[in-house]
Structure 1
């Protein structure tokens, strides 16, 4: 189960005709309470889609009763008409559920620039269909997770059962996975009794070490949203450490699934930086490698080209001596103290799981950033995305 694993939640996923290829494309998640605490983290992209602009305002008070999500159009750069579409969507959900429009979070995914009359009509039709289909249980949660897929090859769901309470979640995303304190669309639910300020701290602590360290292609979405809703239906009030640990575990599971479904990837790469002067330095160094097209192309070609690693990390302002660095590819130390070490032929890059370890010998901090290789399939899929 995913968003329906926690008590107090119902969900639905329906087909409203937004996808040219057919299939489910509108999802609805409802918090039946008794609490309506909520927190969210949104893309830091200055170019924000209309649903993000709406949802940022609506959740300012720390509450939410429902989340409506659609595939088939991002409703971004669609002008005043697009924002009105988002507003009308929230109003329709509110009307069907007997709540206020401000209690509704709106999320969209798909092609930028899509948001005409036909799109609006499809989304509103989807609201009605989803409201009629709302249900608890596994099937409803799976239907919602399937409805928000775009280029995803499979739905992403995760659940953690903690001490008397549950955290569940669903996510979509297979490209444009770059840090903006969120990654594509994620809805998390819990039946714990948690107030909004604590939910917000737990969510930000979780996203910082999970979604924010997933850097598939260095491209940041306009629609990235991570939502966390608490129903309080379990009657359990966990402390901050417990709720943060559970939310982080679900976010980490979902981030791994997003990582493994990156568009066209043939290698799932974990770049671990050890012995950095600070955690921030470790993240900066790992991300510099994750965003190197030369490095990513080398991995696609099964080439353990450690020179591209050193070239990438040398562009950062992190504190380390580039001539004292060790680099390991899948357990083989190919570079020691900035010089060649083991022969490249000893490295096996044929498995999909790929480990890069960079030892800076500059301190005690560590961090891992997840990325993937740059493939022909990725280029093809994104060149034909709008066709």
Structure 2
């Protein structure tokens, strides 16, 4: 039931006519309250789409009544006219819902540099508002409406609290390419019926995204439109414990991040890079990311080649403190490198399964981190060479 699983939310997804295919391309998620508290994190890319510029202002007071999301066009680098389209979209939703335009977030995803038709978006918003519902079909349509190159919708539901004081988190995400920190080329909407203030939501969301979406690094490319939104209705009447809520939210984000990884464009391997024995967590992240962004390593995995030398070459480019001649590397449970020297034979490593686990032990400290990535395939190159055609 995705974003409408928690009490207090309605959603809809419609075919507004943005996509030439006639597929669903516009979603609306509404928080019916009694509270409209929210937190949002945005791409760290300095090149930001018009919806990001609008939504950053909306999010400042921590109050959000609704969010409109469209696929089929990023509305990025489209000048003042593009910003007016975003403004018009928010105004249309506000008028239809009886809320303030300054409490309506807007998200867009698709091709950069193409103008969106404001009239089409406005009519799509009105159509979506007329179809708002809190049933499974409404949530499914909303999740499908935000897809671009995704092959399937990504949704999650996590329950929390104790007997008699339960609360729930729901969520939907889109993303299949440009998956790299600065979040990813993702749009994510998370909802909860827990009664929490915006400041608590903000702390929880930043912690959850730090260990999930910010560690998904499929192709090293950062989007202009990334936005992860958390809306709280308070409809359960339960004030969730902050630590418990943060853990549940992190679990939801990790689930969605894994779904994004599994649907990455053209990928044939989902690679989990686990770094152990770093001096600090940041060092572990830097080491893991150096491997995730190494095209030689990623191409080797595509070819089912356990080329551990490419792992060592990649991590040697980092500033993290460790001795490369003490490092161990394992692939799918086989330690192929021990103390910077060959260990088990390469042919003992089975890289045929899609799930690939690389374990790097630095022997420099106690910190660890995990990075998610994919291999580099012919299909990835073909899909991205033909994206705008």
Report the TM-score, using the length of structure 2 for normalisation. Answer: 0.98
Separation in structure 1 between the aligned mates of residue 273 and residue 248 of structure 2, nearest angstrom: 24
State the Cα distance separating 1:115 from its structure 2 match: 1.6
State the Cα distance separating 1:215 from its structure 2 match: 0.3
1:309 corresponds to which residue? 311
State the Cα distance separating 1:55 from its structure 2 match: 0.1
1:90-142 deviation line (CA, Å, top 9, x unaligned): 000000000000110000000001224xx222211210110110011211111
Secondary structure at the aligned position of 1:165 is classed as: strand
2:144 corresponds to which residue? 146
Secondary structure at the aligned position of 2:282 is classed as: helix
Mapping of 1:146-295 within 5 angstroms?
146-163=144-161, 164-181=166-183, 184-295=186-297
Separation in structure 2 between the aligned mates of residue 138 and residue 249 of structure 1, nearest angstrom: 22
Maintained 8 Å contact 1:42/1:182: no
Mapping of 1:13-52 within 5 angstroms?
13-52=13-52
Question: Quick check: 1:107 aligned with 2:103?
Answer: no
Maintained 8 Å contact 2:217/2:373: yes
Separation in structure 1 between the aligned mates of residue 42 and residue 202 of structure 2, nearest angstrom: 12
Secondary structure at the aligned position of 2:40 is classed as: strand
Separation in structure 1 between the aligned mates of residue 282 and residue 333 of structure 2, nearest angstrom: 24
Maintained 8 Å contact 1:41/1:226: yes
- Superposed structure 1 runs of 4+ greater than 3 Å apart: none
Maintained 8 Å contact 1:160/1:246: yes
* RMSD of Structure 2 on Structure 1 (CA): 0.7
Separation in structure 1 between the aligned mates of residue 249 and residue 56 of structure 2, nearest angstrom: 21
Matching residue within 334, 348, 360 for 2:362: 360
State the Cα distance separating 1:22 from its structure 2 match: 1.6
Maintained 8 Å contact 1:333/1:342: yes
Secondary structure at the aligned position of 1:333 is classed as: strand
State the Cα distance separating 1:183 from its structure 2 match: 5.2
2:329 corresponds to which residue? 327
1:343 corresponds to which residue? 345
Separation in structure 1 between the aligned mates of residue 137 and residue 298 of structure 2, nearest angstrom: 38
Secondary structure at the aligned position of 1:102 is classed as: helix
Maintained 8 Å contact 2:156/2:256: yes
Report the TM-score, using the length of structure 1 for normalisation. Answer: 0.99
State the Cα distance separating 1:182 from its structure 2 match: 5.6
Separation in structure 2 between the aligned mates of residue 270 and residue 12 of structure 1, nearest angstrom: 34
Maintained 8 Å contact 2:216/2:373: yes
Separation in structure 2 between the aligned mates of residue 114 and residue 4 of structure 1, nearest angstrom: 31
Separation in structure 2 between the aligned mates of residue 256 and residue 385 of structure 1, nearest angstrom: 23
1:174-221 deviation line (CA, Å, top 9, x unaligned): 001101146510000000000000000000000000000000100000
Matching residue within 298, 301, 304 for 2:300: 298
Separation in structure 2 between the aligned mates of residue 35 and residue 248 of structure 1, nearest angstrom: 22
1:52-80 deviation line (CA, Å, top 9, x unaligned): 00000111001100000000100000000
Separation in structure 1 between the aligned mates of residue 184 and residue 169 of structure 2, nearest angstrom: 18
Secondary structure at the aligned position of 1:3 is classed as: helix
Separation in structure 2 between the aligned mates of residue 338 and residue 246 of structure 1, nearest angstrom: 39
Maintained 8 Å contact 2:168/2:193: yes
Question: Structure 1 stretches of 5 or more lacking a match?
Answer: none
Question: Structure 2 stretches of 5 or more lacking a match?
Answer: none
Larger mean Cα displacement after TM superposition, 145-154 or 245-254: 245-254
State the Cα distance separating 1:337 from its structure 2 match: 0.4
Maintained 8 Å contact 1:320/1:360: yes
Maintained 8 Å contact 2:194/2:232: yes
Maintained 8 Å contact 2:184/2:223: no
Secondary structure at the aligned position of 1:162 is classed as: strand
2:4 corresponds to which residue? 4
- Tell me the matched-pair count: 385
Separation in structure 2 between the aligned mates of residue 299 and residue 250 of structure 1, nearest angstrom: 28
